[in-house]
Structure 1
Amino acid sequence: MAVQEEINLATIIDLQKHPINDDHYREKCKVELDKSGVLVLDNFLYEGSIKSILSEAKKQENLAYYCVNEHNVYLNPFDKNLSKNHPRNKTVTSSKGCITDDQVPKKSSLRALYNSLKFKDFLCDVLDETVLYKYDDNLSSINIHFAKEGQELGWHFDNSSFAITLLIQKPKAGGQFEYIRQFRNSNIKDNNYDGVLNLLNGNCIPEKLTMENGTLVLFRGKDAIHRVTPTIGDRTRILSVLAYNSRPDVSLSESARMTFFGKLY
């Protein structure tokens, strides 16, 4: 079983460029993530793997649930005790399509990557986690996001301590990942309202990531505010989110499943 997994992994990941089993490589990745809050691994998957995953995504795109959400950057309920112009209550827009874990083919290279023990072991070392678990519901572990022309992900902080994404298809233009590190301190409940207001008024210059197809990104977004700018052109931006938990038996809340997936099961 373990041998078979290694064979499969070696056909998916470019292990020459990204030797995820090597302790020195893992330490190098961890240092970079700890230093800058983001780890960008270009050409993580072989071109053939990405083409296969892209073909699967396009075949399933008609199943995607599209939604437009108005939310604040904190992804929390609005505070009625504050004005509509307060940063806690100012709204941004997120719009995308999404297919859920149960719609990803069982034999997909994407699922093989997600389930790989070696891949999860690599992630644990880099993220400083003891163990990683899939979501307990059948929708949330692997998601594929589709952003057609004009669709975007508005400014926000993540609720989770880390995010893992794989770019499957870049758009012709737009779809730029932008972020500002250490923009709040959630540990002491400092929400940096003044900084957020400046950002929403266009007075801050964020950092930008350049990504090609097959790029794996590990990102700490709990205190780093970030967004994806609107897609420009007729080529859909397609991105997979690989979602894990540090505890077993965790499901995404029913309200979140209805909001993002349009269904509970």
Structure 2
Amino acid sequence: MQLEQIIQFNEYPLSDTAFQQRCKQHLDEHGALVLPDFISAEALTKICQEGAHKKHLAYYSKDDHNVYLKDPDPDFADDHPRNQPVQSSKGCITDNQIAEDSPLRTLYDAETFRDFLATVLGEQGLYNYADPMSSINLHYADEGQELGWHFDNSSFAITLLIQSPEAGGSFEYVENLRDADRGEMNYDGVAEVLAGKRQVKTLQAGPGTLAMFRGRNALHRVTPVKGDKTRMLVVLAYNSEPGIALSESARLTFYGRL
């Protein structure tokens, strides 16, 4: 498929400077940008079919972790927000399992798309991962699977929702809950979220929605999926510098192989 058959350019004029600036301003102010029906119904169908066809290739992981995605700190109790465990479980197929003629690869590699993302994110440029697995990931979540509360290590995330579950699988977040650059971890605020005592926001997204999210200082999760329909979400991962690969330990954790 050509890029013009994938992106809904009538709704989203990616090369238009005014449109780019509106998107950037919204992301800067809210920490999240949601573009519904970003891809065409035809492209969505093809990606969904590829995902269903290759689901048997997915590596499934189930991890206990804290919200900071760091090793436990012995200076704090096990039930302290710094160490309190949450659970994440999902399946994943990797970049080298995505077909060469997939609309996902056309979209990911397109200069028009990449320039738009870089402008909105305030980056000088965006580059593929140097390893063969990390650039495009398609995630599967079946009934009971979830992503526990966490902060991202990276400054931004770009996702494309392919298939919604029957119920659950909602993306919830609390923006600006910490300041990682200043080392302010806000344990009290995290404790309130983990105890269900703090109001959270829900990012509303249907299939075909492109979302940009700044998760470094925003605590976020995906609630457990309910029902027989698998939640499928694509993560389009870029780096702000060329030649960067995901570490071998991270690849073993996320993908089960190198």
Match of 1:252 among 243, 246, 249: 246
Match of 2:194 among 161, 186, 200: 200
Q: State which drifts further: 231-240 or 79-88.
A: 79-88
Alignment of 1:156-235 (within 5 A): 156-235=150-229
Indicate the SS of the match to 1:259. helix
Alignment of 1:1-265 (within 5 A): 8-264=2-258
Q: In 2, Cα distance between the equivalents of 1:124 and 1:199?
A: 32
Q: Say what the alpha-carbon RMSD is for the aligned residues.
A: 0.8
- When normalised by structure 2's length, the TM-score is 0.99
Indicate the SS of the match to 1:21. coil
Which whole-Å deviations, capped at 9, do the CAs of 1:67-99 have from their partners, x for residues lacking one?
Answer: 100000000111122210111110000000000
CA drift of 1:27 comes to: 0.7
Aligned residue pair count: 258
Q: In 2, Cα distance between the equivalents of 1:125 and 1:163?
A: 14
CA drift of 1:153 comes to: 0.4
Q: In 2, Cα distance between the equivalents of 1:226 and 1:81?
A: 25
Displacement over 4 Å in runs of 4+: none
Indicate the SS of the match to 1:67. strand
Which whole-Å deviations, capped at 9, do the CAs of 1:41-90 have from their partners, x for residues lacking one?
Answer: 00000011000000001111000000100000000111122210111110
AA partner of residue 263 (structure 1): R
AA partner of residue 51 (structure 2): A
Q: In 2, Cα distance between the equivalents of 1:153 and 1:239?
A: 12
Which whole-Å deviations, capped at 9, do the CAs of 1:129-175 have from their partners, x for residues lacking one?
Answer: 00100000000000000000000000000000000000000001100
Q: In 2, Cα distance between the equivalents of 1:149 and 1:180?
A: 24
- When normalised by structure 1's length, the TM-score is 0.96
CA drift of 1:37 comes to: 0.4
CA drift of 1:187 comes to: 1.5
% identical aligned pairs: 52
Q: In 1, Cα distance between the equivalents of 2:204 and 2:240?
A: 29
Indicate the SS of the match to 1:155. strand
Q: In 1, Cα distance between the equivalents of 2:181 and 2:153?
A: 12
Q: In 2, Cα distance between the equivalents of 1:87 and 1:213?
A: 34
- Which ranges in structure 1 are unaligned for 5 or more consecutive residues? 1-6
